């Protein structure tokens, strides 16, 4: 799937991958904060 997106819509795919990575890091930070406060 990743390769298809990159081939068909390279400009959109790069932005999508960046957003996905940022969202994942935000979730990870949130989970770490929750674990620390538990």
Q: In which domain, by residue range, is 10 found?
A: 2-37
Q: What is the pLDDT of residue 2?
A: 55
What phi and psi values does residue 9 have, to the nearest 5 degrees?
A: -135, 65
**How many domains does the chain divide into?**
1
Please, are residues 6 and 13 in contact by the beta-carbon 8 Å criterion?
yes
Q: What is the pLDDT of residue 21?
A: 97
CA 16 to chain CA centroid, Å, is 8
pLDDT mean values, one per 10 residues, the chain (38 residues): 79 92 98 93
pTM of the model: 0.69
Q: What is the pLDDT of residue 24?
A: 98
């Amino acid at each position: 799937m990743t390769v298809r997106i990159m081939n068909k819509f390279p400009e959109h795919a790069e932005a999508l991958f960046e957003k996905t990575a940022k969202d994942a890091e935000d979730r990870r930070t949130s989970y770490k904060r929750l674990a620390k406060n538990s």
